[in-house]
């Protein structure tokens, strides 16, 4: 079954959305299998999530453009892997990629390799930067936010306030409250 996804991020792009819908219909996407999303690619994408749940083994998801599907190469790769697990092919019309073909799978594998390489290069640069900052005495790591409130946690506990309520007041996790209390002295466990 062919499943189509059309997306626009603003009301001003209605003409582009209509063109996507027309293209998908012309390819044979049934109206019941045509999903239209009006959302930014960086926010929540409920229609995309619905499409990914809707797809079944043997289906083909079609988009007119890569930019209508994913916000970044890692996001694309996440979608592709999700589709592969379900046995669903992906067609991206503007790139002429169809993962139901050997060439299409090759192209997606190359994209995946680039994603992995990009991630490893970024992590290597990060390690080099941290090592340099440590050497210069500038790197101290992330400051644990909950532990900075240890005095306040102990004070509230001494006032008889339950750990769950302490966590809510200080906007830290209940586990952090228990960790702080266990480090500062005996603590009664609260009923869950």
Nearest-CA neighbor of 181 among 150, 160, 159? 150
Phi, psi (degrees; rounded to nearest 5) at 7: -145, 145
Instruction: Report the helix count and the strand count for the chain, using DSSP H and E.
Output: 8, 5
Of the candidates 101, 92, 87, which has an alpha carbon nearest to the alpha carbon of residue 56? 87
Residue found under tokens 């499943």: 3
DSSP tag of 1: -
Helix axes 150-158, 174-184, angle to 10 degrees: 80
The one catalytic residue in 9, 41, 65, 150 is: 9
Q: How many CB atoms lie within 10 A of CB 28?
A: 11
Cα–Cα distance measured from residue 12 to residue 15, given in angstroms and rounded to the nearest whole number? 8
Rounded Cα distance, 109 and 134, in Å: 37
Q: Is 150 a catalytic residue?
A: no
Active site amino acids: 9
């Amino acid at each position: 079954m062919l499943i189509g996804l059309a997306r626009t991020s603003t009301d001003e792009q209605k003409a582009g959305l209509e063109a996507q819908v027309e293209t998908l219909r012309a390819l044979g996407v049934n109206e019941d299998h045509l999903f239209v999303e009006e959302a930014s690619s960086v926010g929540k994408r409920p229609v995309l999530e619905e499409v990914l749940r809707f797809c079944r083994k043997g289906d083909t998801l079609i988009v007119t453009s890569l930019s209508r599907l994913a916000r970044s190469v890692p996001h694309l790769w996440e979608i592709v892997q999700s589709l592969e697990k379900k046995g669903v092919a992906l067609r991206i019309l503007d790139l002429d990629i169809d993962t139901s073909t050997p060439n299409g799978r090759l192209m997606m594998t190359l994209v995946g390799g680039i994603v992995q390489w990009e991630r490893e290069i970024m992590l290597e640069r990060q390690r080099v930067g941290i090592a340099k900052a440590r050497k210069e005495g500038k790197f101290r790591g992330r400051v644990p936010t909950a532990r900075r409130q240890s005095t306040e946690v102990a004070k509230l506990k001494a006032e008889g306030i339950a750990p769950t309520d302490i966590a809510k007041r200080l906007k830290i996790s209940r586990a952090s409250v228990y960790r702080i209390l266990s480090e500062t002295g005996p603590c009664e466990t609260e009923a869950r």
